[in-house]
Structure 1
Amino acid sequence: MIKVTVGEDQPERCNQAFTMAATAVASGVDVSLWLAGEASWFALPGRAAKFEPLPHAAPLSDLLDGVLAGGRVTLCGQCAARRELTEDDLIDGVRIAGAPSFVEEVTADDAQALVY
């Protein structure tokens, strides 16, 4: 599980989280990427493409596409509500879930969590 809480406010940390998630998916790891805080905006169509590319880093939109192709992407329920986002606003494949789902995933056998 990878939880990213930063966005354009901390681009290097944000890009690192998406890089780790996409790399894990490409390696065959079961990945759950949770978007929270400022990263919530990347659940919207086109927002990852607007992220300013970092030198020597893959574009955020490509990384997100990679995670969506082989993993799960979840938008924090409270974060979605604070931003007035609903399932209808989101990229296909992104779901909204709350703390009970997060706790269930992070405490599952063999789960490992990284938070950015």
Structure 2
Amino acid sequence: MANKLVIKVTAGADAPERCSQAFTVAAVAVASGVEVSLWLTGESAWFALPDRAAQFELPHSAPLPDLLDAVLAGGRVTLCTQCAARRDITEQDVIEGVRIAGAQLFVSEIMPDGVQALVY
């Protein structure tokens, strides 16, 4: 069993089911004691901003702000550098606990033995 799970979520409000699945898996993994790194890329980049997760709605799913809070409390959330730049998002704009980093760090996170990576 992997001791670390890296999840790259590319979907946001444009594909709500994929987005919700990624956040749900991340939050459940954190609750299960797995080390989690959740990467926000593409349209999910917007969820690095305060109050953006509260605007997300999907019937019969856990509230996105609760899932994001769970991951921030027990895991790591990273916003893609290029995705942030394309949206004019800076370090000063993001929720406390969200870092901005690029592909080099993503690759270093997924390369060690025992790491599983999922892309949504």
TM-score band by shorter chain is: over 0.9
**1:109, CA displacement in angstroms?**
1.7
- What TM-score do the two structures reach when normalised by structure 1? 0.97
Aligned counterparts of 2:59 and 2:104: Cα–Cα separation in 1: 37
- What TM-score do the two structures reach when normalised by structure 2? 0.94
1:59 maps to 63
* Higher fraction of helix: 1
1:23 aligns with 2:23: no
2:55 maps to 50
Counterparts in 2 of 1:66-105, with a 5 A limit? Answer: 66-105=70-109
- Give the unaligned 5+ runs of structure 2: 1-5
2:3 maps to none
**1:80, CA displacement in angstroms?**
0.5
**1:90, CA displacement in angstroms?**
0.1
4+ residue segments displaced more than 6 Å: none
- Give the unaligned 5+ runs of structure 1: none
| Aligned-CA RMSD value | 0.6
Matched residues, number: 115
